[in-house]
Structure 1
Amino acid sequence: MLLNSCFLGASSPDEWNEAHIVAILKPKKDRLLPESFRPIALCNAIYKIYASLIQTRLSAALDSSLRTTQYGFRANKSTAQPIFVLRQILDLHERHQGKMHFLFLDWSKAFDSITHENIEIALQRYEVPEPFTKAITALYRAPTFRVKNGSDLSSLHPQQRGIRQGCPLSPYLVIIVLSCLMHDVEEEYTSKFELLPNPFSASSPLWDLEYADDTVLFSPNPVTLQRLLHILQHAARIGLHLNLDKCEHLQLNTEQDIYFRDTEQGQCQCSTCFPGSPVPHGPPVPVSAIVKYLGVYLSQKARAQTDITKRLAITYASLKVLRPFSSQETSLQTGNSLYMDKSSEQ
């Protein structure tokens, strides 16, 4: 009864608006820096059931219309698929000594930056029925949060933008917005420069892969890729900005650099996008010999050896930590003591 009332009335109880934010330290990050923590929202249990129901119905109707190169938070899709495609492209161009450029992009706090207005616009563009759109936007009409640290809670703060990491619906809203963004980039590029990159087939252009906000662009032509990058940087209009220092450029059989645009505002006027223009480029995209993408290491040699070596090193390091517990000198009493200490912590 409550859930139907919320959906039909495009409203939600006041207690659903408040979330408690718990900061989770990211792996191998400096705990003294605020950006090293991932803010996870602990939401009302009934709210999460309601949001999950909306997400299930929304994805059933919308999933087939989303961008096919977006693999995040979708049924029957995983990180394995974009990794497989990237390895196939690397292998193909390594075998034939072909040139290829890959740009691994790092969005600055993508989940926290997307505006609520752009979520609503994206839903309307995909022609989501008005009752669904209103029900979803109602959840972001007046969201608030408190920061939780142990048993302590901060004062109440308004959440003016971004989605809640920890809400079943929010990640799906992000990929809807990002699908709109990549569609717009492709439309603008083809209207200005016509042909898109096609590493496999001219009839099936392919220039991007995404897993949620983990984005990679690729093309054998550096001019084409630079133009796509410059158009994509205009994503600042919806609140998304690139971390220029954390983006990476993987070069295969080439040493040619690719440059960011000089400003995120307005249409790019550089000499690559407008031949003959005196407007300079921005800084070059940092070049890397090895890139970690979705947990897998990719290198200029297009071989799996780099990834296997990295994984073996991690495995050996873990075994080294556990070795004292497998030693015959470790007594049963010590093992029981460790078990009791662990149980008491829980």
Structure 2
Amino acid sequence: MADTQKEALLRSKSLAAKVYNQALQTGCFPPSWQQLRVRLLPKKGALTSLKNWRPISLINCDAKIFTRIVTKRLAPILHKVIHPQQTGFLPGRFIAENGLALQLIMEQAQLQQKPGIGMLLDQEKAYDRVHPLYLEKTMLAVGLPVAFVDAIKNLFFGNRIQININGYFTEDIYQQRGLRQGDPLSPLLFNLALEPFLLSIMNDPAFQGFVFSPSSLPPVGPLPPAIKCMAYADDVCVFLSSLTDFTRLQDHIQAYTAVSNALFNHHKTEAFALNGRRHDEWSAILDHHTIPRYYHRFSPSGFRYLGFPICYTDHHRKQVEQHLLEIVKTQIKIYSQRNLSIRGRATIANSLILSKVWFALRQLVASSSFFQALVKIISAFVGGSSQPRISFAQMCQPMENGGLGLLHPKHQQLAMQLRWIGYMLRSDVSHSFLTPILLHHLSLIPGVPPDPRQALFFPAFRQGPLCELARTARLWFTAFDAIPVHLPVHRANVSNCLALPLHHLLILPTSHWLHKTKYQRLLGDSFFIYDDHQHSLRPRIPSEQPRPRYLLRRLYRDLLAVSPRTVDLQPWLWPLIDVPLNPNVNSSLDPLIQGFLDDPFWSLSDNKYYRSHLLPGSLPPYKYPPRVIKSFWSAPMSPYARTIWYKILTQRAPLQPLLAILHPQDPQCVHCHGEEDLAHFVYLCPKKRPIWEAVLSRHLPLYFLRPSILLDFVLYLRSPPSYLPLAKALTLFSAILHKLWSAHWNLKIHAVPFHELTITKSINQQLSSFD
């Protein structure tokens, strides 16, 4: 039988390869590939209009596999052809690059009071209006083979379509234009169709766009090229600095629509002030062109770009935060109706609830009150309302350490900033158009060194408006400070020493004035100089010292003093004193930053590993044996039983002494009136111990467990004897704990008698369901 299946599989693979190669080389396809079923999905707006329905094509699997293969092979080629500012559906490009670029441009425009606007262009039925002849000419223009272009044209524009309306199919409709939505290749083809429009704007010398400006002259580092537009799929954002730009944009739109069959909706296009101020001149032009939405700081709310919330004011930000909290509450209301264990609720929270806010939090600088409210909501959902509550920090611990693996919202937001930090530090991501914008943003910080990345490594340089709490850079700095790696300054060469902060080159007393923040910004070249005559590094003599001269002269005397000597050079700096300056040695900080990136943290680092460093106690060694805790989460047991046992493991069982504090009453055991602790509550009570013994004697008759071993296992998950079947023991003990817990609280709350025989019978019945 197995040989027959293997032979059939080989024949199928051979046939599929033959069909796919023929389709690619000759443009001949099986008839089923061009028979499409279309389902209409509702969009925003009145559903009485066909414009507000999105057609999704249902394509045969073999045809979809073919276009998936073509997409996989075509994407790396188009990555070299399509401009980096078009970020959709290409390897190594990311939608959030556009969102962050817009955020940084607006922060810089507000800082420098640039009067331009941005426009979010809306195309009507963008995929459906692509003309086959225009797409063919575009594909040929970028150098794709004629045979390939013919095959794609025949596949996408020779289809017969039937539309599914309430379960009924229409008659065949012959498709004459448009890319089928739902096909893996369609996004790449649309990228190609849009590229000429974007390039016409970018290559227009009369179109200025947003021009990056330095904070001082000479500028700190090179300026990024002006950014005129960027796109993700059919969402195009254009930056206009003057009325000339607006006029040129209309010319490019007119030319593009004439050749491509595209249609732009002015009434759905949105405009926004880059610096937040409303300009009457721009408002009049937008009104004249029936563009109704013009966002600025006095608008009732901010706007969204690619789903990212863009806020001008704290009021706008609070609106977004409240909206996100309402989304989370709605999701919790839905999932609270399900019978889930505490681990199940944590999984739901991570994958289906908190996932609703991650996209916005990638760049939204949310307030601490928002995170407090979010943590409170999620904690109540996962932990339930019973007392005592499991702490949120315990829930966020890794599952290997007895936690629930719940994602801490603030920690996850910081972890998402690692991507941007990598862009700034790694040279291998220079292909992203965002990298120079990130570095330029750092260079705008007042007093930053020539290499603006020093603001990441040395907090003293973080000053000025761009470093305020509500600014994007504050997220980067907070995330960077949590990285458990330091810049290896001991590897510095002579040139590096002059560029590093002075206090890192010296051994100083704790109370020394160089430890004050304003003096931590002094660089090595303020005190040291490379002497071209002696060919060595030396301290500046008093007449060569810049400001603050008095303090630097005092430092000079302290360094040369014999006794008492309070200041000294770092041990690694002494060997560099007599080393000649090598002009071939890299004078930038790149070698030191590369040493920083060579730390094992980066080779191991992912978001989970980084988050573990943010949460105390979440790194190995863990408190539970790996085999046991893994089996605890995977062993068959009811959701309620797993939750009960977890509360016992985390010492959060509602014992009488605690309840007596919360609700004054007798702190003794309700069964035997003895002193109640966790061991007594679970096993040692004379009313409960016989139940354990009866159940264990029936289901584990060949195994004898001393009470101390049993309690160690139940209370702390310490490894049981090797002869005990672990999975069976976990299922068995969970059932006992479940029924004892229920009977205990039925007695206490509802006065239901606690009968050992009834409880034992109920446990045995539950265990039979797992057999």
* Alignment match, 2:161: 145
Q: 1:244 aligns with which of 266, 278, 284?
A: 266
C-alpha distance after superposition, 1:134-158 (max 9, x if no partner): 2211213412200013532110001
C-alpha distance after superposition, 1:101-134 (max 9, x if no partner): 1111111110111101111111011111222212
Query: Does 1:210 find its partner at 2:231?
Result: yes
Q: CA deviation at 1:96?
A: 3.2
* Alignment match, 2:310: 298
In 1, distance between residues paired with 2:117 and 2:253? 18
* Alignment match, 2:130: 114
Higher relative contact order (CA 8 A, sep 6+): 1
* Alignment match, 1:344: none
Q: 2:55 aligns with which of 28, 33, 39?
A: 39
Q: Which moved more, 1:59-68 or 1:207-216?
A: 59-68
Query: Does 1:310 find its partner at 2:323?
Result: yes
Change (3 A) 1:198 1:54: same
Q: Given that residues 229 and 260 in structure 1 are in contact (C-alpha distance below 8 angstroms), is that contact kept between their aligned partners in structure 2?
A: no
Q: Given that residues 18 and 144 in structure 1 are in contact (C-alpha distance below 8 angstroms), is that contact kept between their aligned partners in structure 2?
A: yes
* Alignment match, 1:180: 196
**SS of residue paired to 1:245:** helix
Q: Given that residues 217 and 225 in structure 1 are in contact (C-alpha distance below 8 angstroms), is that contact kept between their aligned partners in structure 2?
A: no
C-alpha distance after superposition, 1:67-90 (max 9, x if no partner): 111111112223211111111111
TM-score when normalising by structure 2: 0.37
Q: Given that residues 207 and 245 in structure 2 are in contact (C-alpha distance below 8 angstroms), is that contact kept between their aligned partners in structure 1?
A: no
In 2, distance between residues paired with 1:57 and 1:100? 40
AA paired with 1:239? Answer: N
In 1, distance between residues paired with 2:23 and 2:87? 31
C-alpha distance after superposition, 1:32-59 (max 9, x if no partner): 3322221100012111111111122221
Q: 1:199 aligns with which of 203, 206, 212?
A: 212
AA paired with 1:16? Answer: W
TM-score when normalising by structure 1: 0.79
1 or 2, which has the higher helix percentage?
A: 2
Q: Which moved more, 1:235-244 or 1:303-312?
A: 303-312
* Alignment match, 1:2: 19
Change (3 A) 1:44 1:284: closer
Q: 2:40 aligns with which of 10, 23, 31?
A: 23
Q: 1:170 aligns with which of 175, 186, 200?
A: 186
Q: Given that residues 259 and 283 in structure 1 are in contact (C-alpha distance below 8 angstroms), is that contact kept between their aligned partners in structure 2?
A: no
In 1, distance between residues paired with 2:292 and 2:327? 29
Change (3 A) 1:15 1:105: same
* Alignment match, 2:714: none
Q: 2:74 aligns with which of 33, 58, 62?
A: 58
Q: Given that residues 159 and 174 in structure 2 are in contact (C-alpha distance below 8 angstroms), is that contact kept between their aligned partners in structure 1?
A: yes
AA paired with 2:181? Answer: Q
Q: Given that residues 87 and 231 in structure 2 are in contact (C-alpha distance below 8 angstroms), is that contact kept between their aligned partners in structure 1?
A: yes
In 2, distance between residues paired with 1:194 and 1:35? 33
**SS of residue paired to 2:120:** strand
**SS of residue paired to 2:264:** coil
Query: Does 1:257 find its partner at 2:273?
Result: no
Change (3 A) 1:71 1:196: same
AA paired with 1:314? Answer: I
Q: CA deviation at 1:249?
A: 1.0
* Alignment match, 1:229: 249
In 2, distance between residues paired with 1:206 and 1:173? 24
Q: Given that residues 174 and 212 in structure 1 are in contact (C-alpha distance below 8 angstroms), is that contact kept between their aligned partners in structure 2?
A: yes
AA paired with 1:247? Answer: T
AA paired with 1:222? Answer: S
- Please give the root-mean-square deviation of Cα atoms over the aligned residues, in Å: 2.8
Q: CA deviation at 1:228?
A: 3.8
* Alignment match, 1:335: none
Q: Given that residues 94 and 301 in structure 1 are in contact (C-alpha distance below 8 angstroms), is that contact kept between their aligned partners in structure 2?
A: no
* Alignment match, 1:105: 121
Q: Given that residues 298 and 307 in structure 1 are in contact (C-alpha distance below 8 angstroms), is that contact kept between their aligned partners in structure 2?
A: no
Change (3 A) 1:296 1:10: same
**SS of residue paired to 1:314:** helix
Q: CA deviation at 1:8?
A: 1.5
Aligned residues: 306
1 or 2, which has the higher strand percentage?
A: 1
C-alpha distance after superposition, 1:4-44 (max 9, x if no partner): 11111122222211110001123x54443322221100012
In 1, distance between residues paired with 2:113 and 2:32? 60
Q: CA deviation at 1:164?
A: 0.2
Q: Given that residues 120 and 133 in structure 1 are in contact (C-alpha distance below 8 angstroms), is that contact kept between their aligned partners in structure 2?
A: yes
Query: Does 1:287 find its partner at 2:300?
Result: no
Change (3 A) 1:6 1:87: same
In 2, distance between residues paired with 1:232 and 1:313? 42
**SS of residue paired to 1:136:** helix
AA paired with 2:31? Answer: D
In 1, distance between residues paired with 2:192 and 2:49? 31
Change (3 A) 1:182 1:324: same
